[in-house]
Chains A and B, each alone.
Chain A
Amino acid sequence: MASTQVNPTRMELTRLKKKRITAIRGHKLLKDKRDELMRQYLDLVRENMEVRLRVEKGILSANKNFVIAKAGMSEAALNTALMAPKQEINLEAGEKNVMSVNIPTFEYKTRTADENDIYSYGFAFTSSDLDGAVKSLADILPDMIRLAECEKACQLMAAEIEKTRRRVNALEHVIIPETEKNIKYITMKLDENERSTQIRLMKVKDMMLEEAHGYSQKAEEYEAV
């Protein structure tokens, strides 16, 4: 039985029928949305994992190079060498709409086009290991940007998929069955009411005829004869 009381009226019935149509339509649309999101998400998350592993490996080896570079020169000299960076990165952030999820897209521009500007120091007083270390870090930068793009998109899409899945389930297992049950209840109730009225009318008609013609009396007389 329905958890909430429904009025067995025609108006309510029309309302519920409309609600059912909307719910079914919404359910279908949301299910399509979920499927498409999932398809895109799975592609993206695979790439995300791939890029992440690559970046982590790159950072690990870059860190190793930095440690070696650090060992080869004094702390003060290293700090001085890295104190004033020449290069600067400007990030252009756009938004892409994937199935109503806004995911960021990043594009970066270095301040100067010269790729040697990552070396912010003269080469005279630094060890050559430092050059290698800086270069190895610069090499993984594009991957790092891509990682940020992918990972953020994955996070946002995962949240959206979860939300959509809940909505689909709520519609499928709660809203639609409940509406159908209520529609059935109202139809039954209205039919029952109609039958009841019909019977009452027949009964009244019988009574009125009886009063006008006195059938039962006649029948008794007939039996007596």
Chain B
Amino acid sequence: MYKIAVIGDYGSIYGFATLGLSICPVKTREEAKNKLKQLAEGKYGIIYITEAVAAEIKEEIEKYQEQTLPAIIQIPGVSGNTGAGVDGVKKTVEQAVGSDILFSQE
């Protein structure tokens, strides 16, 4: 049985607590790194992470990309959408096809 976690600044994620997701407010880069590691090794199937925090700990996130679980998914924070999530999808298309043939026109 797995759980779902949300990592980010408190302002962006406190609402998710009401839905029954575990929220992990982080402030610094180090904190985010440690939290991610701790969650990934624990019983968490999905970890949502705000784009702002994700941008800071890119290397750590990439480590889990090849594993089936956990799924680390970027979501926009309260400060707005940086487009990192959409870029991530485009990047996988580039990786698979060789060039972005699907979404480049947008």
A-side residues, CB < 8 A to B, are 38, 41-42, 45-46, 48-49, 52-53, 55-56, 59-60, 62-63, 66-67, 82, 85, 87-93, 95, 102-104, 106, 108, 110-111, 118-120, 133-134, 137-138, 141, 144-145, 147-149, 151-152, 154-159, 161-162
Further pairs besides A45-B89, A91-B46, A93-B69: 18, Cβ < 8 Å? A38-B97, A41-B96, A45-B92, A63-B76, A82-B18, A88-B20, A89-B4, A90-B2, A106-B46, A119-B18, A148-B46, A149-B71, A154-B89, A156-B68, A157-B96, A158-B93, A158-B95, A158-B96
Q: How far is the CA of A92 from the CA of B76 in the complex (A)?
A: 25
B-side residues, CB < 8 A to A, are 1-4, 12, 14-21, 45-46, 48, 65-66, 68-69, 71, 73, 75-78, 80-81, 85-86, 88-89, 92-93, 95-97, 102-103
Interface of B is mostly: mixed
Closest to B48 in A: A144
Give the chain B neighbours of A88 by CB distance below 8 A.
20
